[in-house]
Copies of this chain bind each other. A is one copy, B any other.
Amino acid sequence: MSQGPGKAKRGIPSKEENFNEWYPFIVEAAELVDKRYPIKGMDVWRPYGWKTMKLIDALTHREMERTDHEEVNFPLLIPENLLDRENALVARLKRAREEGVDPDDLRDEEEEGGFKKEVYWVKHAGENELDIPMFLRPTSETAMYTMFPLWIRSHKDLPLKVYQMVNTFRYETKQTRSFIRVREIHFFEAHTAHADEADATRQIEQDLEIVDTIMHDLCLPVIKAKRPLWDTFPGAWYTIGIDAVMPNGRTLQVASCHHYQDQWAKAFDLTYENLDAQQQHCHQTTYGMSERLLGAVVGMHGDENGLIMPPAVAPFQVVVCPMIKKNSEVDTVAAAEELAAKLRRHGLRVKVDSRDIRAGQKYYDWEIKGVPLRLDLGPRDLAQGTAYAARRTGGKEPIPLDGIEEACLSILEEISEELRRRSHAHMNDVVQPLPPINLNDDTYVLEGEVKDGHIYELPFDGTDAHAETIERLTGFAFLGDSTDEYESERPCHMSGTPTRRRVLLAKTY
A residues near B, CB below 8 A?
A: 34, 36-39, 42-47, 50-51, 54, 70-77, 79, 82, 116-127, 134, 136, 143, 146-147, 150-151, 162, 167, 169, 171, 173, 184, 186
A42 partner residues in chain B, CB cutoff 8 A = 75, 77
Most B-side CB within 10 Å, residue of A39, A50, A117, A151? A39
Contact A125 B120 (CB under 8 A): yes
Asked whether A37 and B126 contact (CB < 8 A) given A42-B75, A73-B44, the answer is no
Copies held by the complex: 2
A125 touches B134 (CB 8 A): no
A126/B119 in contact, CB under 8 A: yes
Residues of B within 8 A of A34 (CB): 147, 150-151
Chain B residues whose CB sits within 8 angstroms of the CB of A54 once the complex forms: 71
CB atoms of A120 and B119 under 8 A apart? no
| Cβ A118 vs Cβ B126 within 8 A | yes
Please tell me if the beta carbons of B44 and A74 are within 8 angstroms of each other in the complex. Answer: yes
Interface centre among A74, A75, A169, A173 (most CB of B within 10 A): A75
The answer to whether A123 and B123 touch across the interface, beta carbons within 8 angstroms, is yes
Contact partners of A70 in chain B: CB under 8 A: 47
Q: Which of A38, A54, A79 gathers the greatest number of chain B CB atoms within 10 Å?
A: A38
Residue of B nearest to A69 (CB): B47
Give A136 to B76 CA distance when docked, in angstroms: 11
Q: Say whether A167 contacts B76, CB under 8 Å.
A: yes
A39 touches which one: B79, B123, B162, B171 (CB < 8 A)? B79
Select which of B46, B124, B146, B150 is within 8 A of A121 by beta carbon: B124
A116 CB contacts on chain B under 8 angstroms = 126-127
A126 and B171 contact, CB distance less than 8 A: yes
Nearest-neighbor residue (CB-CB) of A41 within chain B: B75
